[in-house]
């Protein structure tokens, strides 16, 4: 119900001065072409992208927290976001996605798909490398987390170096790409993200009983006949794939993956049968709310949605840490 209400509100709200009735008529393709284009080419892609990306990041966060046995793990724990940012910076600064002007309130690149593909290749390549190295060390969750921290530091340093060597025009485009922007995704890109997210969700939901067993520890899960290392490998790969695809298309959006599962765990417990889909729905809700704020808080301007999620997510994150400290 909350998702539906936010969908309607998001449809009515925007920089263009359309009344709710005009927006509703445009949704059904009735009225002036300008209104129809405004609703279907600007507002609808943002709304659907928020639903898909929020759902994907939240379920990825839950799966990573279960498999890494760390309640503070998130979709960025394996260095996915930092690797994607580095790949996009390489593509932009080398000229494949150089800035060519502005369209509305967003930057325009002469070949944005090259930027997206480069971001995805580096993001998923980083994950494969980390999991490959972890496999050598018996796939310990601690090893995975430490390697993720090392990868994040490495790609952040490389990104800084590349940006330092770039000219002003390429640097501004590279920095802009790092801002999370739901309006960047087209319907085709949203369809790709949706296919990856919901196919992975089906796999996660099938494995929900095994995740519950892993919550009691690897040893207990093994006594129940679960191949823990294989399960962890598949789960982390799919969770990282979701994150890599989403980050490649809309940029870095933080806190959704860590906050949603943690908040719901306080009220619903750790049962993946309920926590997995509920986390996804809460992720969609939080990202829709963040996008609404991003589109309305500054008149005439869309601020980066990643900044809003960070501002909203930080107090919740501190609250979670304080609760854990008290416990």
154-166 pLDDT, tens digit each: 999 999 999 998 8
Chain Cα centroid distance, residue 267: 24
SS3 100: strand
Q: Distance between CA atoms of 159 and 11, rounded to whole angstroms?
A: 37
pLDDT digits (tens, 9 = 90+) for 294-317: 988 887 788 889 999 989 888 887
The superfamily (CATH) of domain 2-326 is ABC transporter involved in vitamin B12 uptake, BtuC (1.10.3470.10)
Q: Please state the domain extents for the chain.
A: 2-326
pLDDT at residue 96 is higher than 80: no
The pair of structure tokens assigned to 213 is 């067993």
**Mean pLDDT value across the chain:** 87
Confidence class of residue 109 from pLDDT cuts 50, 70 and 90?
A: low
pTM: 0.90
| Predicted pLDDT at 102 | 44
Q: What is the 3-state secondary structure (H, E, C) of 227-279?
A: CHHHHHHHHHHHHHHHHHHHHHHHCECCCHHHHHHHHHHHHHCCCHHHHHHHH
Q: What is the model's pLDDT at position 319?
A: 79
pLDDT band at 104 (very low <50, low <70, confident <90, very high): very low
DSSP symbols for 103-153: ETTEEEES-HHHHHHHHHHHHHHHHHHHHHHHHHTTT-HHHHHHHHHHHHH
| Of residues 21, 53, 26, the one with CA closest to residue 39 | 26
**Which pLDDT belongs to residue 190?**
95
């Amino acid at each position: 119900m909350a998702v539906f209400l936010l969908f309607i509100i998001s449809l009515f709200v925007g920089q263009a001065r359309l009344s709710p009735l005009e927006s509703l008529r445009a949704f059904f393709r009735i009225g002036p072409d300008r209104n129809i284009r405004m609703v279907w080419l600007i507002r609808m892609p943002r709304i659907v992208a928020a639903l898909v990306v929020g759902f994907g990041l939240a379920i990825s966060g839950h799966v990573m927290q279960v498999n890494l046995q760390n309640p503070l793990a998130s979709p960025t724990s394996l260095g996915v976001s930092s690797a994607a940012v580095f790949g996009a910076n390489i593509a932009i600064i080398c000229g494949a996605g150089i800035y060519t002007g502005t369209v509305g309130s967003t930057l325009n690149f002469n070949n944005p798909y090259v930027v997206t593909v480069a971001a995805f290749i580096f993001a998923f390549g980083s994950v494969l490398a980390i999991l490959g190295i972890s496999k050598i060390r018996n796939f310990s969750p601690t090893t995975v987390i430490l390697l993720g921290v090392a990868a994040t530091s490495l790609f952040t340093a490389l990104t800084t170096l590349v940006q330092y060597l770039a000219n002003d025009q390429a640097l501004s485009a590279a920095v802009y790409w790092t801002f999370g922007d739901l309006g960047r995704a087209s319907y085709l890109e949203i369809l790709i993200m949706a296919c990856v997210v919901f196919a992975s969700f089906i796999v996660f939901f099938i494995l929900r009983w095994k995740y519950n067993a892993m919550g009691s520890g690897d040893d207990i899960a093994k006594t129940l006949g679960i191949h823990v290392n294989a399960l962890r490998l598949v789960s982390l790969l799919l969770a990282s794939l979701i994150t890599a695809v989403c980050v490649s298309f809309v940029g870095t959006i933080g806190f959704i993956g860590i906050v949603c599962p943690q908040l719901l765990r306080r009220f619903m417990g750790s049962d993946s049968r309920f926590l997995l889909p509920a986390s996804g729905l809460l992720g969609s809700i939080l990202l829709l709310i963040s996008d609404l704020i991003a589109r309305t808080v500054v008149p005439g301007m869309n601020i980066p949605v990643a900044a809003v999620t960070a501002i909203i997510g930080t107090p919740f994150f501190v609250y979670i840490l304080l609760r854990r400290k008290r416990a």
